[in-house]
Structure formats: structure tokens, C-alpha cells
């Protein structure tokens, strides 16, 4: 179950988007998964369900609106094993601009 804030979110959540991932990405019980650029949780939400209570998902999403939707989706799905973090990931400490939003 997902909450979306625009048509782009809806399109990304469509099962026909990135169809190659289903053959490649198959999380198992007890796995730990770090989703960098989690968006609204397309991979983080089902992965948290797949890894179960003994597994862990860390979803990193820097964009404020996407992060709000991600948090809502975690609550909608009642996931206790998913930690959402409102940060960006980069290879060094610096300032970045993401879609008009300024991050430090």
C-alpha cells in the first residue's frame, strides 16, 4: 500500500517500471537492506515485508516531499523494521542541490 503525491510517483510504483529488478533483487528473511534514494519506498516497503521482523531496512531519502510520502507509506504498512532517514548520500561531505532543494 502506497501514498503518492504526484503522477511521477504513481508511474514509478507501476510494476512495469524497472521490470529487470524482480529477476535480480530477491531479499530473504533476516537480510539487511540499505535503500539509498528510497523515493516513496518502492523497494524499501516490499523488502521490509520480505526480510521480516528479524531483518532491517534503512531507507535514505533526501527530498522533503518524497521523505514525507515514504514516512506515510511506512505507517500505512505498519512496518517496525524500516528506518527512514531524511539525508542525502554522497562520497564526501559537501553542499548539493537536488531538484531545486538545497542540502548540506
Where in the chain are the domains?
A: 7-15+30-103
Query: Per-residue pLDDT averaged across 73-84, rounded?
Result: 98
Q: Which of 20, 18, 10 is nearest to 40 (CA)?
A: 10
Altogether, the residues listed in the chain come to a count of 104
> What is the per-residue burial (b if ≥16 Cβ within 10 Å, else e) of 22-31?
eeeeebeeee
Tell me which fold the domain 7-15+30-103 belongs to. Rossmann fold (3.40.50)
- What's the whole-number average pLDDT of the chain? 89
Residue 73 phi, psi dihedral angles, 5° rounding:
-70, -35
Instruction: Kindly report, residue by residue over 50-76, the tens digit of the pLDDT.
Output: 999 999 999 999 999 999 999 999 999
Residue 64 phi, psi dihedral angles, 5° rounding:
-55, -45
Q: Which three cell numbers stand for residue 99?
A: 531538484
Q: What confidence score (pLDDT) does residue 99 get?
A: 64
Amino acid at each position: 500500500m502506497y501514498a503518492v503525491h504526484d503522477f511521477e510517483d504513481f508511474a514509478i510504483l507501476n510494476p512495469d517500471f524497472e521490470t529487470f529488478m524482480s529477476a535480480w533483487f530477491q531479499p530473504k528473511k533476516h537480510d539487511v537492506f540499505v535503500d539509498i534514494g528510497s523515493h516513496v519506498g518502492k523497494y524499501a516497503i516490499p523488502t521490509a515485508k520480505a526480510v521480516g521482523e528479524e531483518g532491517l531496512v534503512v531507507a535514505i531519502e533526501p527530498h522533503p516531499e518524497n521523505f514525507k510520502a515514504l514516512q506515510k507509506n511506512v505507517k500505512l504498512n505498519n512496518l517496525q523494521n524500516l528506518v527512514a532517514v531524511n539525508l542525502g548520500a554522497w562520497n564526501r561531505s559537501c553542499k548539493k542541490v537536488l531538484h531545486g532543494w538545497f542540502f548540506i
